[in-house]
Amino acid sequence: MNTLPVEQFRKFKNDITRFLMAYKFALDAFETKIDILTEEFQLFHDYNPIEHTKSRLKSPESILKKLYKKGLDISLPSIKANITDIAGIRITCSFIADIYRICDMLQNQSDLKIIEIEDYISHPKQNGYRSLHMLVEIPIYMSDRQENVCVEVQIRTIAMDFWASLEHKIYYKYNRTVPPTLLQELKEASDSAAALDRKMERLHNEISEVKDAQAEEWGEDLKQISISNQQFQLPEALLRLLSDRPNNV
């Protein structure tokens, strides 16, 4: 009995499992970064710009289909060199300004290498698609080596995400052959969603200004620290010291 094909298949299976595991770890590391940014914003700004995140890892079948469609070599080096969306994460925000704020924060992280940024908000696709895409390289540490792994990041508002989800379902239903009238309606819906984003952001800014103007200089909330649902009361001696301290110190 010839066992060579079985051994080759087993080796390929082990190799691709290990290969995809690196991308899974990259997603885990990236999601940890987002969790840290989320909690930091919540603590210091009493506002969380990130509504939710969703990650996904391409299946081996999907990866091989993409290689075949592009006429590329079927090998792990070929996959790594040509398929940049194996690991993907979508960050959904409340407002457009949050998208660029998160993008800036990610660019400032020294261990991340920004490969590419595509701004489909300032320059929407012809069909009306809006989102900010980043291709980011993140280091992960295995038991025997360090690897730099690409993660595709999509940052969009709730309205953009709703439109993109609906557009995807319509394209799937019509097998990517959507009637022209429906395409025009989708474009108009995208414009309406963009107008709603702008209006909600303006209202948000106005409310924030009113809230800041009405904030008390020393409220009860300033006398305690809250970290991960744990409350820490500031000592009265420290409060008196800060109260007596000149403002210009």
Specify if 15 maps to a domain: yes
Local confidence pLDDT in tens for the 249 residues of the chain: 455 577 777 777 778 888 899 999 999 999 999 999 888 887 777 678 899 999 999 988 888 888 888 888 888 888 888 899 999 999 999 999 999 999 999 999 999 999 999 999 999 999 999 999 999 999 998 888 889 999 999 999 999 999 999 998 888 777 778 888 888 999 999 999 999 999 999 998 888 777 767 655 545 455 555 555 565 555 665 556 656 666 554
Looking from the CA of 30 toward its CB, the CA atoms found within 13 Å total: 33
Specify if 143 maps to a domain: yes
Specify if 86 maps to a domain: yes
Specify if 43 maps to a domain: yes
Q: What was the pLDDT predicted at 249?
A: 47
Specify if 108 maps to a domain: yes
Specify if 220 maps to a domain: no
Q: CB of 126 within 8 A of CB of 80? A: no
Task: Report how far residue 226's alpha carbon sits from residue 228's, in angstroms, rounded to the nearest whole number.
Answer: 7
For the chain, the residue count is 249
Distance of CA 104 to the CA centre of its chain: 12
Q: CB of 129 within 8 A of CB of 123? A: no
A 10 A CB-CB count for 55 gives 18
Structural domain of residue 64, as residue ranges?
4-158
Instruction: Kindly report the CATH number assigned to the domain that includes residue 9.
Output: 3.30.460.10
Specify if 89 maps to a domain: yes
Largest pairwise CA distance in the chain:
89
Pairing of strands 224-227, 87-93: unpaired
Distance of CA 122 to the CA centre of its chain: 18
Q: What was the pLDDT predicted at 161?
A: 96
Q: CB of 162 within 8 A of CB of 228? A: no
Closest CA to 30 of 63, 57, 55: 55
Specify if 128 maps to a domain: yes
Closest CA to 59 of 88, 29, 31, 96: 88
A 10 A CB-CB count for 103 gives 18
**Burial letters for 155-180: b for 16+ Cβ neighbours within 10 Å, e otherwise?**
bbbbbbbebbeebeebeeeeeeebee
Give the tokens for residue 38: 């989320």
List residues with catalytic annotation.
Answer: 152
pTM of the model as a whole: 0.80
Q: Count the domains in the chain.
A: 1
Distance of CA 167 to the CA centre of its chain: 20
